[in-house]
Structure 1
Amino acid sequence: MIDYKAMINGVAVISLAGMALPGAASAEDFSIWVRSDGSEFMPRLVEAFNAESEHHANLQIVPVDELVQKYAIAAAGGSAPDALSLDVVFNPAFASVGQLRDMTDFAHSLPYFDSLSKAHLEVGSWEGKNYGLPFSGDASLLIWNKDLFEKAGLDPEDAPDSWAEIEKDAEAVSALGDNTYGFYFSGNCGGCNIFTFTPLIWASGGDIFQHNGRTATLDSDEVAAAVEFYRGMVQKGLVPEGARTDTGTNFFGAFANGNIGIAPSGSFAIGALNNQYPDLNYGVTYLPGSQAGEWSSFAGGDNIVISAATDESKIPAIEDFIRFAYSPEGQTILARNGAMPVRSDVAEQALAGLDERYLISVKAMAGGSTPYSVVFNDLINSRNGPWITALNEAFFANSAEQARQALEQGQQEMQSIIDAAY
Structure 2
Amino acid sequence: MKPRWRIRLALLAMLTLTTASACGGAEEQAAPGATGGVTITMWTRAATQAQSERLVAAYNKGHKNQVKLTVIPTDNYQPRIAAAAGAGQLPDVFAADVIFVPNYTSQGLFLDITDRVGALPFKDELAPSHMKLGTLDGRTYTVPHTLDLSVWFWNKDLYEKAGLDPEKGPATLKEFAEQARAVDRKLGKDGKVHGTFFGGNCGGCYVFTFWPSVWAAGGQVMDAEGTTSFNDRPPMTDVFEVYRDLYADGVTGPTAKEEQGPTWTGFFPRGEIGVMPMPSTTLGTMPEDMKIGVAPIAGPDGGESTFVGGDSVGVSATSKNADAAWEFLAWTVSDEAQVEVMAKNKDVVARTDLADNKYSAEDPRVVLINSLVAKGQTPYALRFGQTYNDPQGPWLRLAREAVFGDPAKVPQLNTEVTKSLQQ
By the TM > 0.5 criterion, same fold? yes
Paired residue type of 1:118: P
Offset of residue 13 of structure 1: 6.2
Distance 1:188 1:71 in 2: 28
Unaligned 5+ residue runs, structure 2? 1-6
Alignment of 1:4-403 (within 5 A): 4-6=12-14, 8-9=16-17, 28-176=38-186, 177-179=189-191, 180-273=193-286, 277-292=287-302, 294-311=303-320, 314-332=321-339, 333-337=341-345, 339-349=347-357, 351-352=359-360, 355-397=363-405, 402-403=406-407
Match of 1:416 in 2: 419
Offset of residue 153 of structure 1: 0.8
Offset of residue 338 of structure 1: 5.4
Deviations 1:193-246 (A, max 9, x none): 211111011111222211321222222222111111111111122111200010
Structure 1 residues 16, 246: CA separation in 2 closer, same or farther (over 3 Å shift)? farther
Report the more deviating stretch, 277-286 or 6-15.
6-15
Paired residue type of 1:215: T
Query: Aligned to 1:301, what secondary structure does the other structure show?
Result: strand
Offset of residue 136 of structure 1: 1.6
Offset of residue 18 of structure 1: 13
Paired residue type of 1:160: P
Kept in 1: contact 2:156–2:166 (CA 8 A): yes
Structure 1 residues 381, 27: CA separation in 2 closer, same or farther (over 3 Å shift)? farther
Offset of residue 38 of structure 1: 2.1
Paired residue type of 2:310: G
Distance 1:145 1:336 in 2: 24
> Structure 1-normalised TM-score?
0.90
Offset of residue 54 of structure 1: 2.3
Offset of residue 367 of structure 1: 0.9
Deviations 1:69-96 (A, max 9, x none): 2111111221111111211101111111
Distance 2:222 2:313 in 1: 24
Offset of residue 355 of structure 1: 3.7
Structure 1 residues 327, 19: CA separation in 2 closer, same or farther (over 3 Å shift)? farther
Query: Aligned to 1:245, what secondary structure does the other structure show?
Result: coil
Structure 1 residues 338, 21: CA separation in 2 closer, same or farther (over 3 Å shift)? farther
Distance 2:146 2:136 in 1: 20
Unaligned 5+ residue runs, structure 1? none
Kept in 2: contact 1:16–1:60 (CA 8 A): no
Deviations 1:334-375 (A, max 9, x none): 223453111222333263475432111111222100010111
Instruction: Report sequence identity in percent.
Output: 31
Query: Aligned to 2:95, what secondary structure does the other structure show?
Result: strand
Offset of residue 279 of structure 1: 2.5
Offset of residue 157 of structure 1: 0.6
Distance 1:409 1:249 in 2: 29
Deviations 1:221-278 (A, max 9, x none): 22111111111111122111200010012211121221211110111120111xxx22
Offset of residue 21 of structure 1: 12
Distance 1:22 1:315 in 2: 11
Structure 1 residues 337, 187: CA separation in 2 closer, same or farther (over 3 Å shift)? same
Distance 1:23 1:374 in 2: 35
Paired residue type of 1:356: P
Distance 2:398 2:420 in 1: 15
Structure 1 residues 215, 19: CA separation in 2 closer, same or farther (over 3 Å shift)? same
Structure 1 residues 12, 141: CA separation in 2 closer, same or farther (over 3 Å shift)? farther
Distance 2:293 2:196 in 1: 14
Size of the alignment, in residue pairs?
Answer: 409
Structure 1 residues 17, 64: CA separation in 2 closer, same or farther (over 3 Å shift)? farther
Structure 1 residues 125, 24: CA separation in 2 closer, same or farther (over 3 Å shift)? closer
Kept in 2: contact 1:11–1:69 (CA 8 A): no
Query: Aligned to 1:158, what secondary structure does the other structure show?
Result: coil
Kept in 2: contact 1:39–1:61 (CA 8 A): yes
Paired residue type of 2:407: A
Kept in 1: contact 2:22–2:84 (CA 8 A): no
Deviations 1:31-90 (A, max 9, x none): 111111222122221122122222221111111121122111111221111111211101
Kept in 1: contact 2:56–2:69 (CA 8 A): yes
Distance 2:113 2:238 in 1: 40
Distance 1:354 1:33 in 2: 33
Paired residue type of 1:161: A
Distance 2:333 2:145 in 1: 8
Structure 1 residues 23, 372: CA separation in 2 closer, same or farther (over 3 Å shift)? closer
